[in-house]
Amino acid sequence: MKRFSIGTAVVTAFAVLTLVGCNGGGGDKAPADGGKPGTGGKTAAAKFTIGMSQCNLGEPWRVQMNKDIEEAAKAHPEINIIYRDASNKSESQQAQVREFIQQRVNLIIISPKESRPLTKPVEEAMDLGIPVIVLDRAIEGDKYSCFIGGDNVKIGRELGKFMVKALGGKGNVIELKGLQTSVPGKDRHNGFMEGIKGSQIKIIFDADCQWLEPNAQKEMASALSRFPQIDAVYGHNDPSAHGAYQATVQEGKGREKTIKFFGVDALPTEGVKYVKDGVLTATFQYPTGGKEAIDAAILLLNKMSPDKKIVLGTKVFNKDTVAKGGEAL
Ligand code: FRU
C-alpha cells in the first residue's frame, strides 16, 4: 500500500468516496456531550463503522479529544463512530477492543491507558485485517496502522530548558509524574532530564501521580511538609500542576507566591487559563490528535496508508506568549 501524507490524500480519499456514491446524508453523530458510551445508531449513509476506545473521560483533555474527533467526523457522513469509555481501566479497554473485533468494525481508534496490556488486543485486530489507529499513548512494538501523538521527549526537554532560565540555573524541584506504565509519562521525565542537564536544578521529590489531580495534590502536601525550600514544580500535565498549586495554597504559608508551577496540555479552559490567572508560570501544548485521527481513518478506510507515525507539534504558553496564542517550538 502506498503511503500518503495526510493533507493531500484526504482530499483525494474524500473525492473517491463521493464518486463511489456516498450520498452525503446525515450520518451518525458522536454523542453531543463529547463522548459518553453509546452505540452510535448507524444510518443508511454510514458506510463504515469506527470503534473508538477512550481510556477515560474523567480528564478534560480526553473529553476534548473526543470532541475533536466528533468535529472532524462531521465532514464525513460515510463514517459512524461507536464511542466507548474505559473509565481508566486497562481490562475494560481490552474488552472494548475485543468487542469491536467481534462486531467486525471497519476500523478501530484507541487512546490506550497503558502500553503493555493494550498491545495484544490491538495485534488481534490487526491480524484480522481491522486497521488500528493508536492515539497519544503508544503500545509496544509496531503492529498497528498508524500512531498519532505529540513528542513527549521534546515537551519535557523544552520545559526543562524553560525552567532552567526561569530559575536562573538552580533550584529545588518537585516532579509530579504521569503514569509510569504509559509512554508519555516516561518520555516527559527523560526529556526533562535532558533539558536540565548541566544546570544546578535538583529533583528533591518525585511521585507517580498517574496523571490525576487529587494524587498530585496529596503528594505535594507531603513534599511541602518535608522541604522548606521548594523553587518549582513540574507537573507532567496541567491537572497535576494545578493540584500542586492547590496543596500549596492550602498549606497556608503563602509559598504559592514563590514556587513556580509548570504543566503540560494547554487546554484553553485549563492550562492556558491557569497561565492567564497567574497560577502556572508556563504550560506546553499537547495536541489531542483527534482531527488527525479522522484524516488517517479516511485514508485507511479507502485502502490508502497514512504515515505510520504522525508527530504533532507543541507550543509554549507563558505570560509573554499567552495573549498571542502561544509560541510554537
Ligand atoms: C489525559 C492525560 C493528559 C496527558 C495525557 C498523556 O488522560 O493525562 O493530561 O497529557 O493523558 O497521555
Asked if residue 105 lies in contact with residue 39, where contact means CB atoms within 8 angstroms, the answer is: no
* Ligand 1 atom having least distance to the Cα of 182: 12
> What pLDDT is stored for residue 46 in this prediction?
82
Pocket lining: 265 vs ligand 1, CB cutoff 6 Å: yes
| Rounded Cα gap, residues 52 and 67, in angstroms | 12
Pocket lining: 136 vs ligand 1, CB cutoff 6 Å: yes
Reply yes or no on whether the pLDDT at 16 is more than 90. Answer: no
> What pLDDT is stored for residue 290 in this prediction?
98
Q: How far is Cα of residue 171 from the mean position of the Cα atoms in its chain? A: 29
Domain spans of the chain, in order of start? 6-144+287-313, 152-286
6-144+287-313 against 152-286: fold identical? yes
pTM recorded for the entire structure: 0.88
Asked if residue 62 lies in contact with residue 69, where contact means CB atoms within 8 angstroms, the answer is: no
* Ligand 1 atom having least distance to the Cα of 111: 12
Pocket lining: 113 vs ligand 1, CB cutoff 6 Å: no
- The lowest-confidence range among 41-55, 74-88, 243-257, 291-305 is 41-55
Pocket lining: 61 vs ligand 1, CB cutoff 6 Å: yes
User: Mean pLDDT, to the nearest integer, of 291-312?
Assistant: 97
**Which residue has its alpha carbon closest to ligand 1 atom 4?**
237
3-state secondary structure string, the chain? CCECCHHHHHHHHHHHHHHCCCCCCCCCCCCCCCCCCCCCCCCCCCCEEEEEEECCCCCHHHHHHHHHHHHHHCCCCCEEEEEEECCCCHHHHHHHHHHHHHCCCCEEEEECCCHHHHHHHHHHHHHCCCCEEEECCCCCCCCCCEEEEECHHHHHHHHHHHHHHHCCCEEEEEEEECCCCCHHHHHHHHHHHHHHCCCEEEEEEEEECCCCHHHHHHHHHHHHHHCCCCCEEEECCHHHHHHHHHHHHHHCCCHHHCCEEEEEECCCCCHHHHHHCCCCCEEEECCCCHHHHHHHHHHHHCCCECCCEEEECCEEEECCCHHHCCEEC
Reply yes or no on whether the pLDDT at 5 is more than 70. Answer: no
When comparing pLDDT for 209 and 44, which is higher?
Answer: 209
Confidence of residue 4 (pLDDT cuts 50, 70, 90): low
Q: Could you tell me the distance, in angstroms and rounded to a whole number, from the CA of residue 61 to the centre of ligand 1?
A: 7
Q: Could you tell me the distance, in angstroms and rounded to a whole number, from the CA of residue 211 to the centre of ligand 1?
A: 6
> How does the average pLDDT of the chain come out, rounded?
90
Pocket lining: 211 vs ligand 1, CB cutoff 6 Å: yes
Pocket lining: 184 vs ligand 1, CB cutoff 6 Å: yes
Q: Could you tell me the distance, in angstroms and rounded to a whole number, from the CA of residue 18 to the centre of ligand 1?
A: 36
> What pLDDT is stored for residue 15 in this prediction?
44
Q: Could you tell me the distance, in angstroms and rounded to a whole number, from the CA of residue 237 to the centre of ligand 1?
A: 7
Q: Using a pLDDT cut of 70, give the percent of the chain over it.
A: 87
Of 120, 5, 98, the closest CA to residue 53 belongs to 98
| Rounded Cα gap, residues 262 and 271, in angstroms | 9
User: Mean pLDDT, to the nearest integer, of 167-176?
Assistant: 98
* Ligand 1 atom having least distance to the Cα of 212: 8
| pLDDT, tens digit, 9 for 90 and up, residues 221-234 | 999 999 999 999 99
> What pLDDT is stored for residue 14 in this prediction?
45
> What pLDDT is stored for residue 159 in this prediction?
98
C-alpha cell at 185: 509519562
Q: Which CATH architecture has domain 152-286?
A: 3-Layer(aba) Sandwich (3.40)
Query: Which CATH fold topology does 6-144+287-313 show?
Result: Rossmann fold (3.40.50)
> What pLDDT is stored for residue 29 in this prediction?
36
| pLDDT, tens digit, 9 for 90 and up, residues 37-92 | 344 444 557 899 999 999 999 999 999 999 999 999 999 999 999 999 999 999 99
